[in-house]
Amino acid sequence: MTANLALYERKLAGLDRKGRNRSLVAISGADFTSNDYLGLADSQRLKDALCDAIDRGVPVGAGGSRLLRGNHPEHEALEQEAAAYFEAARALYFGSGYAANVALFSTLPQRDDIVVYDALIHASAHEGISTSRAPSVATAHNDVDAAADAIARWRRAGGKGRPWIAVESLYSMDGDCAPLGELMELVKRHDGFLVIDEAHATGVFGKGGRGLSEVLGHPENCISLHTCGKALGASGALVLGPAIICDFLINRARNFIYSTAPSPLMAATVREALKVLADEPERRGNLAGLVSFASREMQAATGMPPSKSQILPILIGDNRRAVRIAERLRSEGFDVRAIRPPTVPEGTARLRISITLNVDEAIISRLFERLVVILREEQQQ
């Protein structure tokens, strides 16, 4: 092996020593890992919508960026329908939630502003914030007072711009929710902006699956991000907010300007997913029932309090033990994955149990029956 490659081998060996080396694992067993909360990814309605779009002549590829020839009518139809459905002034479609978060935070906050973000926010938001011209500060999870203090310190130090508060509505690894009402009041007091990542709430919470921010309405100082690759069963992401914000992103967000537009076929598929949210509210009801059942099973099996959402974290602590437990569960037909640092803080490796419509109560019961036995055996080692 050359010295150039040996460098990377040493780095991977270092990850292995910490129990943090990762590898790809094939799909198998009952789904307790995906974010396909409403079971739409393999649904007949989305398949039929895709086939119909092909029959209508919708192309596979966009052929260019949206500002060149890649702006297909399917993109524009999706944005109009999404803005109407989520009751926002405007929507802008990105290829992924990661790309949308990077665009938001690298483009919108200005040099004199400050970004105050929850320490547990998505990695994609961290990436965008790191490239922003505005200074930034992380605050303790779901601590409104800490956010207020950060803004006050910035003002005392001469901060003259606007504060941007960045949160997830439903946190992807803990399954808990942000105090959106209190955060909106804080933003109003300081004439700032609230950016809400609805990735794991879209389709599941709020009237018609419009997310947890639905209760706020869409004031001009609120921007929300709805990913399409989780409960909506497709891919991409929708940024919703004032028209002027979307126009600014079109003109200044580099990863929007210089990226080939998302597949028009995927835009057509997301359009159908939004129709499913409106037409089939029973999916949300069925999921809520499964989540309640799984929460009771989890608490009985582990003694840990459930999160009150479809994301049920089971803290293990040790990286290698979390991996070992997940591997044992997969060997018995339950697709559970271990989540380790840096995705979660050091010492908080966990199993992330995701409840979707791809399982039923019987499978959930069997999962927790086996988990009890495995946890007991692990404690005896």
The residues annotated with a catalytic role in the active site are 35, 122, 168, 172, 197, 200, 230
Query: What contacts 73, CB < 8 A, 6 or more positions away?
Result: 264
Q: What is the DSSP string of 307-331?
A: -SSSEEEEEEE-HHHHHHHHHHHHH
Residue 238's DSSP bridge partners are 93, 226
Euclidean distance between CA atoms 229 and 227, whole angstroms: 6
Q: What is the DSSP string of 17-79?
A: HTT---------SEESS-S-TTS-TT-HHHHHHHHHHHHTT--SS--S-TTTT---HHHHHHH
**163: three-class secondary structure by DSSP:** strand
- Which amino acid belongs to residue 261? A
Q: For 178-226, where are the alpha helices, taking DSSP H only? A: 180-189
Cα-to-chain-centroid distance, residue 45 = 23
Euclidean distance between CA atoms 314 and 369, whole angstroms: 14
Query: What contacts 160, CB < 8 A, 6 or more positions away?
Result: 112
Residue 223's DSSP bridge partners are 195
Token code pair at residue 168: 């997830």
Euclidean distance between CA atoms 99 and 175, whole angstroms: 23
Kindly tell me the burial class for residue 222, based on how many C-beta atoms sit within 10 Å of its own C-beta (0-12, 13-18, 19 or more). buried
Vertex 210 angle, CA 45 and 261, to 5°: 65
Q: Beta strand 193-197 with 334-335: parallel, antiparallel or unpaired?
A: unpaired
